[in-house]
Amino acid sequence: MKKDLITLNDINQKEVLSLFEKAALLKEKRNQGEPHKSLEGKSLGMIFSKESTRTRISFEVGMYELGGQAIFLSSDQLQIKREETAADSAKVLSRYLHGVLIRTHEHEFLEEFAKNATIPVINGLTDLNHPVQILTDIFTIQEKLNRIEKVKVAYIGDGNNVAYSWILGATLMDMHLTIASPTDLRPEIPKTLDGPGRLDLFEDPLKAAEDADVIYTDVWVSMGDENGAEKKERLKNYQINQNVLKAAKPNALVMHCLPAHRDEEITSEVLDGPQSIIFDQAENRLHVQKAILDTLLK
């Protein structure tokens, strides 16, 4: 792998599969209560300017279980708040830490930080990209279906950072991704798409869901989005419900990266239903991210 994980363009298919093997092994070791302290003495700095449940806790627990420590650094507690540049912050923190996780709004800040850091930098989410989430999602699909290649994933809803990252991930791993959203809410199409996967865009969610192996959604209004009420109105016909499930394969899996706004983008009936793997998906953030940490920080 490259030094950093900023987008899924930083990793190839072989490296993804190797990460998944390591994640499965680390998951098994944890379930068996077997110590796995490969990062003893290592420190991960975690810079957060966005709220978090899964990202913060899974990375903190992951570093602890790997024998290292995670240091939570809220952006308003750092000199970044007083306009210290990303470059200067990166150069200083590189002298103290073994890696940095950043969860922020501006993707450009993350890129500038990584360019000036001499230690690995991991993208924990930006307004453009969420690579650790999509790696986890694909790992979970492999775990449940025992395959990745040609799996059809129907993403229904807002074309946000998760949808953008799904385009990169599905292309890379030879999956078939369909996206259903209003035309003006479609995700940006990445300039570089490296891989054999297929992408189809729809306005009709039932068309996108047709014969899908996986139905996927995310919140309609992301953090910091100022057009919330308008977007909810535009997306009201893009809810994951029983009608959408009926259009997919009979045993299609249901996924959501959480947090969920129940009975908006997904009904509680579907979220809690027998086809939902949403909480397995959330758990796997821990195992996949431990594999990433073990690979980049060792």
> Is 289 annotated as catalytic?
no
Angle at 17 between CA 151 and CA 104, to 5 degrees: 90
Taking alpha carbons only, the member of 195, 276, 237, 223 closest to residue 53 is 223
Q: Which of 4, 127, 213, 218 is catalytic?
A: 218
Q: Which two tokens stand for residue 69?
A: 């420590």
Q: Which of 54, 127, 133, 142 is catalytic?
A: 133
Helix (H) or strand (E) holding 28: helix 13-31
Phi, psi of 276 (to 5 degrees): -75, 130
Q: Which long-range contacts (CB under 8 A, 24 or more apart) does 36-41 make?
A: 36/65, 36/66, 36/67, 37/66, 37/67, 38/66, 38/67, 38/294, 38/298, 39/63, 39/66, 39/67, 39/68, 39/98, 39/293, 39/294, 39/297, 39/298, 40/66, 40/67, 40/68, 41/67, 41/68
> Is 287 annotated as catalytic?
no
Q: Which of 130, 176, 256, 287 is catalytic?
A: 130
Angle at 273 between CA 208 and CA 214, to 5 degrees: 30
Q: Which of 137, 257, 281, 294 is catalytic?
A: 257
Q: CA 78, CA 71: separation in Å to the nearest integer?
A: 12
> Is 82 annotated as catalytic?
no
> Is 130 annotated as catalytic?
yes
Residue 138: count other Cβ atoms within 10 Å of its Cβ.
26
> Is 133 annotated as catalytic?
yes
> Is 257 annotated as catalytic?
yes
Taken in order 158, 192, 113, 56, the sign of the CA dihedral is positive
SS3 260: coil
Residue type for 177, please?
L
Q: Which of 98, 256, 285, 287 is catalytic?
A: 285
Residue type for 57, please?
I
* Residue burial 158-182, b: 16+ Cβ < 10 Å; e: rest: bbbbbbbbbbbbbbbbebbbbbbbe
Q: Which of 103, 176, 256, 287 is catalytic?
A: 103
What are the catalytic residues?
A: 103, 130, 133, 218, 257, 285
